[in-house]
Structure 1
Amino acid sequence: MILHHLRVLPLLVRMYVRSQMEYRGAFWLDRLAQILSYGSVFATISILLSRFQTLGGWSWPELALLYSFQLLAYSLGAAMSFTQLRDLEEQVRLGSYDTLLVKPFSPWAYLIFSGLNIGYAGHVILAVPLMVWAVLSVDFAWSVPSALFLIAALLSATLLTAALITMIGATALIWVRSNHLFSIFFGFWELMRYPLNI
């Protein structure tokens, strides 16, 4: 039974990706808009730091590493959870979520993998090169253990993001209205971009 479920998951992802790529031009234009939006934030911080050298004792490569780490962890975690669980409120309110409960398949797995959000590709396309540049530019003696720690921390932050979004979305099963809680989450998410002393 579990093997059957595991074989179905890639089919759900492929079906959703094909539906999203139906309008390729619109998809890539939206990704470009995301890159420009986040890129403008990066550029603003870079311009400030080119003038003042440090911000709260942090240099541009250090802030770029922090910012790209946060953006990459969020995009990977949210791709597995945000859109799907944001829409859960409407499904519960309309009663269409009940159809998932009677399927011979995990409702959570169906919800997550049938809506795996490839729209976060713009975040990843921007965050990965910036993170690579920051890792190579930051004044730190990298070693195998520290590189493994960075990867483990990124994986942990990704799973934590997905778990928090899942918990917020799941409250729709109790209260029906839950999307207002996402604004609280994103308020804290904005704070996580910068060191506390900034």
Structure 2
Amino acid sequence: MRFFKLYARFIPIYFRSKTEYGFGFYMDFVGFALNHIVSYALIWALMSRFQTINGWNMYEVMLIYTLNMLTYAIAAVFFFFQMDAIEEDVYKGSFDSLLVKPINPFIHMIIRGFGHFFLGDIVIAVIMMVFCFNHLDISPGFGAYVSFAVTLLGAVLIQASFIVISGSMCFWVVRARSFMDVVLYGIRGLADYPISIYGKVLRGVLTFVIPYGFVNFYPAHIILDKDGSSLFASWLPYTAPAVGLILFFIAYRVWSVGLNRYQGTGS
């Protein structure tokens, strides 16, 4: 609880420091927003041409993209820039400063930063989610909404886990940003569309090996009540919270092993 209070005090200070940059601060949000506007325009152009892809219509595909963006943005607010900075800290030797503080280095790493860039993504994702729901002929019950919300929490943990694992690679390969790019942008990009459009092997990889399917494809089945013929099992959509918890535990273990391996600069 003490750490949450500390973080809550840090965030207003962080924003005051960032708003000193004025125009540049707000342009960060505009730049991120334009990137997603282009992506939605591409989906619109694609779906206007083909109407459906593997049984998913335009608004359902937009929802899939939106869920990937939303869960990643929530995780990135608390982990992305923090883990990205670890690489430079390890390279320069300034990571040692985290080890001499009377606080768990992992928690210290989280509360020393805040990914304000991604707040705009969250706002856009919420607006687009409401937009998609309004255009979809669905009437889920209260239980479906609760299950959907819980699976999204698991999805956020999955996104956070891959950020932590990717950032922790710098303990083995100091310049690990390319690995981060492959995992966070390359492989995660496969989940921007329903994974049912891929072959069974790739669907298996995105379900059981690198489970990005649980960040949007499986949660979407709950709220959309989609046909489960493309699923490996009908109960898989409900396992996202468990997958998220297990994967986050693995991510923390990877971080811990890497931390124990770190030897500092010796200076």
User: What amino acid is aligned across from residue 126 of structure 2 in structure 1?
Assistant: V
Verify: 1:139 aligned to 2:137, yes or no: yes
Instruction: Return the alpha-carbon distance in structure 2 between the equivalents of residues 33 and 5 of structure 1.
Output: 32
Query: Percent sequence identity over matched residues?
Result: 30
Question: Residue 192 of structure 1 aligns with which residue?
Answer: 191
How far the C-alpha of 1:8 sits from its partner, in A, is: 1.6
Question: Residue 121 of structure 1 aligns with which residue?
Answer: 119
Kept in 2, the 8 Å contact 1:168–1:181? The answer is yes
Instruction: Return the alpha-carbon distance in structure 1 between the equivalents of residues 125 and 4 of structure 2.
Output: 30
Kept in 2, the 8 Å contact 1:62–1:134? The answer is yes
Question: Residue 107 of structure 2 aligns with which residue?
Answer: 109
Instruction: Return the alpha-carbon distance in structure 1 between the equivalents of residues 18 and 148 of structure 2.
Output: 32
User: What amino acid is aligned across from residue 191 of structure 2 in structure 1?
Assistant: M
Runs of 4+ in 1 over 4 A off after TM superposition: none
Any stretches of 5+ residues in structure 2 without a counterpart? 199-267
Query: How many residues are paired up?
Result: 196
Q: Which has the higher contact order (CA 8 A, sep 6+)?
A: 1
Instruction: Return the alpha-carbon distance in structure 2 between the equivalents of residues 59 and 121 of structure 1.
Output: 28
- SS where residue 177 of structure 1 aligns? coil
Question: Residue 82 of structure 1 aligns with which residue?
Answer: 80
Q: Of 88, 95, 98, which residue of structure 2 is paired with 1:97? A: 95
Q: How does 1:13-52 map to 2 (within 5 A)?
A: 13-52=11-50
Moved more, 166-175 or 139-148: 166-175
User: What amino acid is aligned across from residue 137 of structure 1 in structure 2?
Assistant: H
- SS where residue 140 of structure 1 aligns? coil
Instruction: Return the alpha-carbon distance in structure 2 between the equivalents of residues 6 and 32 of structure 1.
Output: 29
Kept in 1, the 8 Å contact 2:32–2:117? The answer is no
Q: Deviations over 1:54-91 (max 9, x none)?
A: 23321111111111111000111111111111120110
Question: Residue 62 of structure 2 aligns with which residue?
Answer: 64
Instruction: Return the alpha-carbon distance in structure 2 between the equivalents of residues 82 and 167 of structure 1.
Output: 11
Instruction: Return the alpha-carbon distance in structure 2 between the equivalents of residues 28 and 138 of structure 1.
Output: 33
Any stretches of 5+ residues in structure 1 without a counterpart? none
Tell me: CA distance 1:109–1:14, structure 2 relative to 1, closer, same or farther (3 Å): farther
Tell me: CA distance 1:81–1:24, structure 2 relative to 1, closer, same or farther (3 Å): same
Question: Residue 169 of structure 1 aligns with which residue?
Answer: 167
Kept in 2, the 8 Å contact 1:31–1:122? The answer is yes
Q: Deviations over 1:98-119 (max 9, x none)?
A: 0111011222222212211111
TM-score by length of 1: 0.90
